[in-house]
Chain A
Amino acid sequence: MAEFELDCLGEACPIPLVKTEKKMQELDVGDTLIVMIDHSCALKNVPEWARKNNYDVEVEEVGESEWEIFIDKTA
């Protein structure tokens, strides 16, 4: 049940998405990945990708134009 962070601040699309995809492969089932982003299009495509893979997703707006996406590797 480990927690990992992925700092994608300052990265434009599609880099946050590609990095998230790669990182999720390294995680074990039950782990959580927190992706930090400040690019609004990643706010759309990262959760979309995660939901398509049946992961639990939660988005939190942590500041002005800054978000943390929590992805649970459920399967």
Chain B
Amino acid sequence: MKLSSNKYYQAWFKNPWTYVTGAILLSIFQLVTIATTDGAWGVTGPFAVWGAWVVQAFGGSVDHWYFFSTESGRAALDRTFLTDPASVRNLGVIIGALLATLLASQFKFKKIKNLRQVGAAVFGGLLMGYGSRIAFGCNIGALYSGISNLSVSGWVFALFMFAGAFVGSKLLVKYFMQ
């Protein structure tokens, strides 16, 4: 029998898991995260630290940057990639996603349809990166971890994220439907 038609292979690796399964696993692992690293789950925070490491590697200094003037900011700078739990976890997300798509036999370099797509991706990425830093978190650090740790800020973030998603989907239909 072919592996691709094995029902266990299909259930575990091929077909997407349900949202409920995903939600339960996320809840469990965010608890594991807090218990083992003494910090809530976040994704984009390390990006800023990586950027600072690059600046430092070229002899620059980020000491006077407001973002790194806090105690936790300085502590993050003093760590290395392998001693920073959040950095290692981000790497794990990427490797895990790659592994999942390979196991499902769904790895593919998607073709780029037009330059507009590239422009929107770059511009959108910059906006998301900048926005997540001035909001002190992305939809994981500020929203998911915020709400699951009973912080009001998570709900405020949610409100404005929905507003942003609404405007974003209108723009998407307007500019990307040709």
Contacts and interface: CB of A to CB of B under 8 A. Distances in A.
Contact of A38 (B110, B117, B169): B110
B55 interface: no
B2 interface: no
A54 interface: no
A9 B113 CA distance: 8
B107 A64 contact: yes
Given A14-B172, A18-B173, A64 B106 contact: yes
A15 B105 contact: no
Given A38-B110, A65-B107, A14 B177 contact: no
Given A15-B177, A40-B16, A44-B16, A10 B110 contact: yes
Contacts of B110: 9-10, 38-39
B111 interface: yes
B152 to A, nearest CB: 30
Contacts of B107: 64-65
Interface residues of B, number: 16
B169 A64 contact: no
B108 A38 contact: yes
Given A14-B172, A64-B105, A9 B111 contact: yes
A56 interface: no
Interface of A: 9-11, 14-15, 18-19, 22, 38-40, 44, 64-66
Interface of B: 16, 101, 105-108, 110-113, 117, 169, 172-173, 176-177
15 contacts: A9-B110, A9-B111, A9-B113, A10-B111, A10-B117, A11-B176, A15-B177, A19-B177, A38-B108, A38-B110, A39-B110, A40-B106, A44-B16, A64-B106, A65-B101
